[in-house]
Chain A
Amino acid sequence: MTSQTHAMLDEASAVLLTPGGLDLAALDDGLGHAMGPGIDYADLYFQRSWHEGWVLEDGEVKEASYNIDGGVGVRALAGEKTGFAYSNQITADALAETGRTAAGIVRRGERRAVAPGVAMASQARYAGVDPLTGLSAEDKIAMLKLADRVARAADPSVAQVSASLTGVHEVVLVRASDGTLAADIRPLVRFNVSVIAVRNGRRERGSAGGGGRYAMARLRDENVAERYAREAVRQALVNLEAVEAPAGQMPVVLGPGWPGILLHEAVGHGLEGDFNRKGSSAFAGRIGERVASPGVTVVDDATLADRRGSLSVDDEGTPGQSTTLIEDGILTGYMQDKLNARLMGMAPTGNARRESFAHLPMPRMTNTYMRAGSDDPADILKSVKRGLYAVSFGGGQVDITSGKFVFSASEAYLIEDGRITAPVKGATLIGNGPEAMGRVSMIGHDMELDTGIGVCGKEGQGVPVGVGQPTLKLDELTVGGTAS
């Protein structure tokens, strides 16, 4: 065990346990309540988070908010059954009450012992800092005002600018009956700019943003206020010129970076362990089979330094890792939490995530991306006679059972005779995950990760994620525009 792991546990313990009169040793008793008759695994998840948000509108920071959240979630597992209760009090009484409630899922059977806690050695994927400190309130306001000035100066059509700076300082501690003991301090910051441009009575929006697991000061040092302000204006101006999008089937070229949301929707969700254990995913039972074109390699990687989706340890205390999901087109693995891994006879992959202590963990993505290929992005565009080039998306959704996915382009262009021509508006792409992955015909050498803006929703729980990909050509996808 490293001294760093120790320091993290001490800090988490001081923040989470000490105020309620608890310590690490007391958790064995706490866990004992949840390990009732017939329970084969139980865990305690302690969390405290501080969220800060500053919002600029009309050139002025008129609104700022601060939120403190925290408590303990207690889970008891028996076979495929899960009992769950939580409390916003972290005290011995609360552990006893929630533990007994969670254990009530079964009422008879063997009573198992709680294994002694052993601190998990894990490598830190980001610094365990409080991201909210280090910049004064004046500094934070100055960043937002800079974004406003830059955006308004960029073009006379800019009518509205809003900018926000948010940060979360989160401390978590996991103690499980299998001996797991792990702590993590997770910073998460984000800067966002959104503009409305108006010209000749037409109104369009543009937005840009990003962040990651580091201190707010880095956002200032990297001058994101200016960068995202310019990018948001650029996108709004492009959209002011946009014509109606075509409708029907055509080749689609996806730009690098954020369009990786296609992978997230088309492939990622379908490879989460729970859906595959239940057989409800279009990818269920297909390990070892070809599910994508040769050359397509997709990984889920929690270990990338400082990334929005990265995790030093997941919400069950398993160290974050890099899992190859598809290798050269062949399905090689699923993303697992402990429950689904155990029931499928596989190993956990560090993908157990939960929105908070008040939610149950599930297998979720971290940073999901496609590795670079060898094609020149310019050649990829040249190869298309008539198609769509999509470089930014608003969001997507998937039906993991039928495999159907949808996502909406927020910046896209027509490709005519190998050249990018008019920008188009309102293009929705729809396809079938396994089919679409089989239609990938060219893969660029320009792999990029997104700037750090993704939030993934599953069963009502939101968690921060990253996506990425190189420029990609799909030979055929349905584009849902309004033009005949």
Chain B
Amino acid sequence: MTQAFDAAAQQTLLESRARMALELARRLGADACEVGASVDQGVGVSVREGEVETVELSRDQGIAVTVYVGQRKGSASSSDAGEASVRAVVEKALAIARHTGEDPASGLADARLMATELPDLDVHHPWPLTIDEATDLALRCESAGRGMAGIRSSDGASLSSGEGVRVYANSHGFLGSQCGSRHSLSCMLIAEDENGMQRDYDYTSARAPRDLAEAEAVGESAARRTLRRLGARRPATGRMPVLFDPTLAAGLVGHLMGALAGGALYRQASFLCDRLDTPLFPEWFSLGERPMEVGAMASSPFDGDGVQTRDNVFVRDGRLASYMLSAYSARRLGLQTTGNAGGARNLRITAPLQGREALLARMGRGVLVTELMGQGVNGVTGDYSRGAAGFWVEDGEIRHPVEEFTIAGNLETMFQGLVGVGDDTDTRGSIHTGSWLVDEMMVGGS
């Protein structure tokens, strides 16, 4: 990278700013205080049609302070973590805490729950990449895709590489910090036939540069994904099985976790209120998190409250085994925190996995969905209705691309109707899953 980034020095600096904020808050009358601070730096290069289009250098920092005065709370933040800003932020947070109402549930997590095991989880792999090298990778990626027969033009390829430091500290004396990195390369291409244009993309993303897919492979895959959409028709309206591509299946896991989040539960804004210990999935399905997994996308030994993270099981043998709680939401529900302030980390599925062919054969006639559009997911009711594109499957074989249709159902029914999970696990994000075959949904087409 052309900007120097000394992660260790930044870490030391942010840690000292966090301590300064805690000390200042205490002196100015706060009973308790917590501080989050971060700095991230990165480079992004995008190319289009063989030429550099943009080169962006980013450097973002921020500090956020929450103070507690009795059971009252105030928060303030700034995009500058300089000493003067830290002071201003602490003062503003205290000023707000004079006006907010008492909240019996407010406050830090229990001191005895603070993380004490803070191993290095190997998530920081900086990439000493020059702009020219970044450009070259993006160009190679795009060129491989553009070179495939039938591709009309490119909507660009982008390489981004970044690293950063985040610190969380609170007045229990807990201070945790972690350096991390993330690199990605993506490509979007356009193909055209007599019915119009289609575009699609592919990407690779990893903590360490060595774990990225080859640039050419990404471009070629983007081309294949684009070309296979040409000639799409609209499917007939009716009830049928739906096979979700792995990235979209990960989205379904995301909706599940959204409904298991403490914030949604205590607001009664979840279709999974009061469902602990009841069956939600088939018995062969389990889902848990691995926050301490070495080198993974969302690894962290401590959560957003400073609490030690742990291997939670959210769905065990098909039954809802745990909610996903922070210290605050747990108090609101009269439960214990699950170390999930800030969400779940590295979700993994345990299920008998099946090949794509087997899932298609099982489906017989239906749609394989490879893209979803719109925000038609209602977390309060579980109602699900989204725009989709994908492929028509007949006699267990992919017949032709389909587009401009909707798939609709209810998440609870979809979870219960899960028929199989594919072995085509997508490991690029923090949720790892293969395809999901759902027994029946309403398809709205022609």
Contacts and interface: CB of A to CB of B under 8 A. Distances in A.
Contacts of B444: 247-248, 428, 430, 478-481
Interface in A147-180: 159-160, 162
Interface string B20-59: 0000000000000000000000000000100111111111
A61 B100 contact: yes
Interface in B216-265: 234, 237-239
Interface in B148-185: 153, 155
A239 to B, nearest CB: 8
Given A64-B74, A426-B376, A481-B408, A360 B56 contact: yes
B268 A159 contact: yes
A394 B376 contact: yes
B239 to A, nearest CB: 7
Interface in A317-345: none
A69 B54 CA distance: 24
B196 to A, nearest CB: 6
A41 interface: no
Q: Which one of B88, B101, B155 has the highest number of Cβ atoms from chain A below 10 Å of its Cβ?
A: B101
B338 interface: no
Contacts of B16: none
Contacts of B51: 80-81
Contacts of A202: 381
A101 interface: yes
B99 A141 contact: yes
Interface stretch (B314-322, B352-360, B398-406, B425-433): B398-406
A399 B55 contact: no
A480 B96 contact: no
B374 A62 contact: no
A104 interface: yes
Interface string A179-206: 0000000000000000010100011110
Interface stretch (A212-220, A276-284, A298-306, A438-446): A276-284
Contact of A480 (B77, B381, B408): B408
B79 A247 contact: no
Contacts of B416: none
A268 interface: no
Given A68-B78, A480-B406, A404 B267 contact: no
A169 to B, nearest CB: 14
B54 A360 contact: yes
B378 A406 contact: no
A278 B155 contact: yes
Interface stretch (A85-93, A374-382, A413-421): A85-93
Contacts of A162: 267
B412 interface: no
Interface string B407-446: 1111000000000000000000000000000000011111
B409 A482 contact: yes
Contact of B404 (A159, A425, A478): A478
A68 B196 contact: no
A404 B374 contact: no
A426 B237 contact: no
Nearest to B131: A104
Given A407-B374, A428-B406, A71 B79 contact: yes
B190 A280 contact: yes
B442 A483 contact: yes
Interface in A41-89: 57, 60-71, 80-89
Contact of B96 (A65, A196, A198): A65
A84 B52 CA distance: 13
A247 B387 contact: no
B197 A203 contact: no
Given A67-B78, A280-B197, A481-B444, A358 B58 contact: yes
Given A60-B101, A104-B2, A426-B376, A247 B408 contact: yes
A72 B302 CA distance: 34
Given A280-B190, A425-B383, A480-B406, A69 B237 contact: no
B96 A428 contact: no
B385 A249 contact: no
A397 B383 contact: no
A464 interface: no
Interface in A362-395: 394-395
B336 interface: no
B276 interface: no
B235 to A, nearest CB: 11
Given A62-B103, A88-B79, A480 B73 contact: no
A210 B380 CA distance: 22
Nearest to A434: B196
Contacts of B2: 101, 104
B238 to A, nearest CB: 8
Given A395-B375, A482-B409, A84 B55 contact: yes
B385 A478 contact: no
A369 B374 CA distance: 21
B375 A397 contact: yes
A307 B59 CA distance: 32
A426 B102 contact: no
Contacts of A427: 385
B380 A204 contact: yes
A428 B54 contact: no
Interface string A260-302: 0000000000000000001110100000000000000000000
A282 B197 contact: yes
A13 interface: no
Q: Which one of B57, B92, B99, B103 has the highest number of Cβ atoms from chain A below 10 Å of its Cβ?
A: B57
B405 to A, nearest CB: 7
Nearest to B443: A247
B408 A426 contact: yes
A68 B155 CA distance: 36
Contact of A62 (B60, B61, B100): B100
Interface of A: 57, 60-71, 80-89, 101, 104-105, 137-138, 141, 159-160, 162, 196, 198, 202-205, 245, 247-249, 278-280, 282, 358, 360, 394-397, 399, 401-408, 425-428, 430-432, 478-484
8 contacts: A84-B57, A101-B3, A196-B269, A248-B237, A426-B378, A480-B376, A481-B385, A484-B238
| Ranked 7 nearest A-B pairs via Cβ | A480-B406, A406-B387, A406-B374, A247-B444, A408-B376, A426-B383, A60-B101
Given A81-B52, A82-B55, A88-B61, 20 more contacts: A63-B73, A68-B85, A69-B78, A81-B55, A86-B57, A86-B58, A203-B271, A203-B381, A247-B443, A247-B444, A278-B155, A280-B199, A282-B197, A394-B376, A395-B374, A401-B199, A404-B389, A478-B444, A480-B442, A481-B385
